[in-house]
Amino acid sequence: MTAQRQASSASQTPLISPAELSYLYTSLSLPDGPIRPDGRSATQFRPLTAETDILPGTNGSARVGFADGTQAIVGVKAEVEKTVVAAEALNLSQHTQEEYADNESSEGKQSSTAGHGSWVQMSIEIPGFRDDDALPVFLSEMMREPLVESVAGGQGGDGEMTGGLKGRLVINKRWHWRLYIDVLLLSQPLSYPLPLLSLTTHLALLSTKLPKLKSKGEEDPFFDDDWNAAEYLYPRSQLKSHLSSTQQVRPPVTLLVISVGENVVFDPNREEIAVADTVLAVSVTRDTDSEGLKLLSIRTVDPPSRLTQPGVPNSENLATLGSTAAAEEAAMLEQSTGEEVSGVWRPRRGGVKRRTIAKMLKLVLEKGGVGEEVLEGLEGVQVG
């Protein structure tokens, strides 16, 4: 029951002893760079295998597996659906259009191309969790948010992606695509599954194809039945060679960043996240109209280090003091002070300084930073 209750924090309460936690924390917070248990550098990701288009029944799919055996599959399905416009909204927008027919025509157009966030549905299944548990709900909200939030300007000549993913789903005023993104974690969640699920979703969306539209304008939609003619949901611009690959609209990717002491560590595994001071989930994407990366959302995740058991320093430990009554009494008195003793694990308390947040974000967003590196790496996966 306790495990269920606390499942919303970054992962299950880690079963690591206070001595181990203290050892991990000290080695990760060393002033000249962290020493990680698996020997990675601070910004290095775990090795992974990825493939796309594995499920023939979907519009796009991907599978990603980490070396520790955790695997995730994502399938993306698209459906055509009739757009429901609330009567009052229709009335009002018609009024506005009549009134400002000349100078507000651009706005009228905008309202027809803007999509709705609820057209993207995401469901996450994690073994051992009910689908209304806090962790799957939190994860799916965390990953859906940047997906529907991203609004591309389309100034880079890539007119198709105006309005971001929401805009892309609009067929015409009366019809739209509805996107179902189903995320399946195949293994037990050994570490916090966010990076794995986010990378898999990114690849699945990259490989998603929608049938080519044959009808024009406000007609009922009619599609080309040749699957080879289908178009990518996130268009490729091989033909437009003036656009380098760094200027295409890409699905967002959510990175998990932790801070330990003064150090910032990316893609933490289970042991590392257990001692983190702060856990941030940062969503970034690339866009046509800006040079660097765009920040779409930040969320703090409850670090599991707050739930750990404290260590007992030798000065308070009855076993090392010898169990004389006086020593016992002294230990009882001292326990209430709860001072920090170096080398003895205390559960983390308090929050994060703004300085640390800024440092973490800079590492993600800067030119040549981790965010760009990840997106470039994902670009290298053969799609289609």
Instruction: Find out whether 364 and 345 touch, Cβ atoms under 8 Å.
Output: no
Element (H, E) at 360: helix 354-365
Piece in contact with another protein (CB under 8 A), picked from 70-78, 231-239, 298-306, 321-329: 298-306
The footprint of another protein on this chain (CB under 8 A) covers a number of residues equal to 73
Position among 31, 32, 99, 337 found at the interface with another protein (CB under 8 A): 99
Position among 87, 239, 319, 325 found at the interface with another protein (CB under 8 A): 87
User: Per CB under 8 A, does 59 bind another protein?
Assistant: no
Instruction: Find out whether 169 and 215 touch, Cβ atoms under 8 Å.
Output: no
Tell me the residue type at 161. M
User: Per CB under 8 A, does 96 bind another protein?
Assistant: yes
Piece in contact with another protein (CB under 8 A), picked from 49-57, 203-211, 240-248, 296-304: 296-304
Position among 258, 344, 357, 375 found at the interface with another protein (CB under 8 A): 357
| Angle CA 309–313–316, to nearest 5 | 110
Q: How many CB atoms lie within 10 A of CB 219?
A: 13
Binding mask 361-380 for another protein (x = CB under 8 A): x-------------------
User: Per CB under 8 A, does 190 bind another protein?
Assistant: no
Of 259, 265, 268, give the one whose Cα is nearest residue 68: 268
Position among 102, 132, 226, 340 found at the interface with another protein (CB under 8 A): 132
Dist CA 68 CA 47 (whole Å): 9
Instruction: Find out whether 311 and 346 touch, Cβ atoms under 8 Å.
Output: yes
Position among 32, 98, 102, 226 found at the interface with another protein (CB under 8 A): 98
- Per DSSP, the three-state class of 227 is helix
- Per DSSP, the three-state class of 33 is coil
End-to-end alpha-carbon separation of the chain, Å?
A: 45
Piece in contact with another protein (CB under 8 A), picked from 28-36, 116-124, 183-191, 257-265: 116-124
Tokens of 178: 């509805």
Which is it for strands 293-301 and 278-286: parallel, antiparallel or unpaired?
Answer: antiparallel
Q: How far is the CB of 98 from another protein (least distance, A)?
A: 6
Q: How far is the CB of 356 from another protein (least distance, A)?
A: 9
Piece in contact with another protein (CB under 8 A), picked from 47-55, 177-185, 319-327, 357-365: 357-365
Q: How far is the CB of 224 from another protein (least distance, A)?
A: 27
